[in-house]
Structure 1
Amino acid sequence: MFKFFGRIKTILSSELNAALDKAEDPVKMLDQYMREMGEEIREVEKAVAKQIANEKILKHKKDDAEAMVAKRQKQAEQAVQAGNDDLAKRALLDKKEYENNVETLSKSWEQAKNDCEELKRKLNEMKKEYQQMELKKDSLKARAESAKVKTKLNRTMSSIGNDESKRGFERMEEKVLQFEAEAETSEDLHKASRTLDDEFAKLDNDVDEELANLKRAMAKEE
């Protein structure tokens, strides 16, 4: 009755490790184990219920037989008082049969009662172990999910610093430097391309301004 549950308890850890080695999903496997254990417990509960019912039936039969023993004893006494020894003997013979039945039923009932108590004890142990494994399952599931996230994060961080990404970044940096150099060169060429007329025009502007200043100075002296 408890073979499956015991087997699951024994091999859960080793099978879980094997599943991790094979890259199987430990969360799904844990859920499957718990479903199977739950089914096993329900089967045991049914067996215990049947055993309890059987124990009650035997107890009822034993009590009935004991009642008949007391009844036949009383009837035998009544027959003796009535002077009917033959009827008293018949009552005593029937009483003897019921006494034998009581002995047999008592043994069966005691055995059934002990079996029932043992089954109930084991069932309670199974339920406690199931609850403990349920808590452990939740913990393992949380650890498995955390490990998945860490693995994904580590892979992402590794890809950020790999050679290909680094080379791509360096290429973009070189392009920016090239753009900046081209802009500076274009400014230098623009300055160099100014014509001689531009230079003289600037010079004429300077002379005209100086002449105007001279005339204003002479006018003040007069």
Structure 2
Amino acid sequence: MFKFFKRMKTIVSSELNSMLDKAEDPVKMLDQFLRDMGEEIQEAETAVAKQIANEKILKRKADDAQAMVDKRQAQAEKAIVAGEDELAKRALQEKKEYENQATLLKLSYEQAENDSQVLKSKLDEMKKEYQEMSLKKDSLKARAESAQTRTKINRSMSSVGGDESRRGFERMEEKVLRFEAEAETSEDLSTQSRTLDDEFKKLDSDVDDELAELKRAMGRE
């Protein structure tokens, strides 16, 4: 379990560049790695809890065996006082059996207690590493998102200055210039047309004035 956790940490620390080179999304992969780590921690917590429970059971059994040793010792002494040597011998015999049990159980308890301390220490280490990787994940996610954004912007900027875009821009510029030229031409034609009409109106006005002047001279007004 703990070896798997260390392998997971190694993957996150050393294989990020490999993920970036592939089609894998590093943000999603980092989230998955942390989820796997979290599951390993939960399994480790369960194992530690079981070990501590086993330790407590052995401690209680060792204490019970030692209590029976003390009890049989007291009973043997009481039997001797009562002159019951045979009863005292039976009590001492059971005392010896309980002493053997107490010795074995005490050794088992001490070993279980040591194992519990080791597991708790490793669990604390796993949790510490998880917190460190969680913080690192946030930093890596921010860096990955920033890099992806910069890549998109750079690609957009490069496409803006591309030959196809430039040719399209120039084509539209030519079209606008052509529209402007056509507008100026139509204005010139309109001006010429108005000037010609004005000249004819002026001519008609001069003839009318001349006719009126002639009639006055001939007394024909």
TM-score relative to the length of structure 2: 0.86
1:1-40 to 2 correspondence within 5 Å?
1-40=1-40
1:145 aligns with 2:145: yes
1:196-215 to 2 correspondence within 5 Å?
198-203=198-203, 205=205
* Length, aligned pairs only: 212
| Matching residue of 1:71 | 71
Q: Give the drift of 1:203.
A: 4.9
**Percent sequence identity over matched residues?**
75
Q: Give the drift of 1:94.
A: 1.4
Q: C-alpha separation between the residues in 2 aligned to 1:57 and 1:193? A: 116
| Matching residue of 1:47 | 47
Distance 1:195 1:113, change over 3 A: closer
The aligned amino acid for 1:154 is N
Q: Give the drift of 1:25.
A: 0.6
CA deviation vs aligned residue, 1:164-207 (integer Å, no higher than 9, x gap)? 11111111111111222222223333444568674253256479
The aligned amino acid for 1:178 is R
In the alignment, structure 2 segments of 5+ residues that lack a partner are: 210-221
Q: Give the drift of 1:14.
A: 2.7
| Matching residue of 2:183 | 183
Q: C-alpha separation between the residues in 2 aligned to 1:78 and 1:193? A: 147
> Following TM superposition, where does structure 1 have runs of at least 4 consecutive aligned residues deviating by more than 3 angstroms?
189-198, 203-209
| Matching residue of 1:127 | 127
1:76-155 to 2 correspondence within 5 Å?
76-155=76-155
Q: C-alpha separation between the residues in 2 aligned to 1:130 and 1:196? A: 93
Q: C-alpha separation between the residues in 2 aligned to 1:193 and 1:173? A: 30
Q: C-alpha separation between the residues in 2 aligned to 1:198 and 1:65? A: 134
State the Cα RMSD in Å.
2.5
Distance 1:131 1:90, change over 3 A: same
Q: C-alpha separation between the residues in 2 aligned to 1:69 and 1:37? A: 48
Q: C-alpha separation between the residues in 1 aligned to 2:193 and 2:83? A: 157
Query: Secondary structure at the residue paired with 2:23?
Result: coil
